[in-house]
C-alpha cells in the first residue's frame, strides 16, 4: 500500500506507518513540524520510531 511521504515538514522520506491525532502531542514534543489540521499522519520509519517513544514517555 502506498502511504506517500512522511508528514514531518522537510523530511520527504517514504511513510511506513500512518498514525492518528493522539500522536500529535508526541510530534510536537519532539519539535517535529507537521500540518496540525490533518486527521492522520503518515510517518517514515525514523519518525514513527521517535514518535512512538515520545508518546510512551508522555503517557507515563
Residues that bind Zn ion (CB under 5 A): 6, 8, 11, 13, 44, 47
Q: Are 17 and 48 spatial neighbours (Cβ–Cβ below 8 Å)?
A: yes
Q: How many residues does the chain have?
A: 60
Choose between 22 and 33: whose C-beta lies nearer to Zn ion: 33
Q: Which residue is nearest to Zn ion (CB)?
A: 6
**Nearer Cβ to Zn ion (33/56):** 33
In angstroms, what is the minimal distance from the CB of 24 to Zn ion? 15
- Distance, CA of 37 to CA of 17 (rounded, Å): 18
Amino acid at each position: 500500500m502506498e502511504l506517500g511521504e512522511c508528514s514531518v515538514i522537510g523530511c520527504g522520506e517514504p511513510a511506513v506507518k500512518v498514525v492518528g491525532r493522539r500522536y500529535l502531542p508526541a510530534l510536537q514534543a519532539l519539535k517535529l513540524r507537521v500540518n496540525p489540521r490533518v486527521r492522520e499522519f503518515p510517518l517514515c520509519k525514523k519518525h514513527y520510531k521517535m514518535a512512538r517513544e515520545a508518546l510512551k514517555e508522555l503517557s507515563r
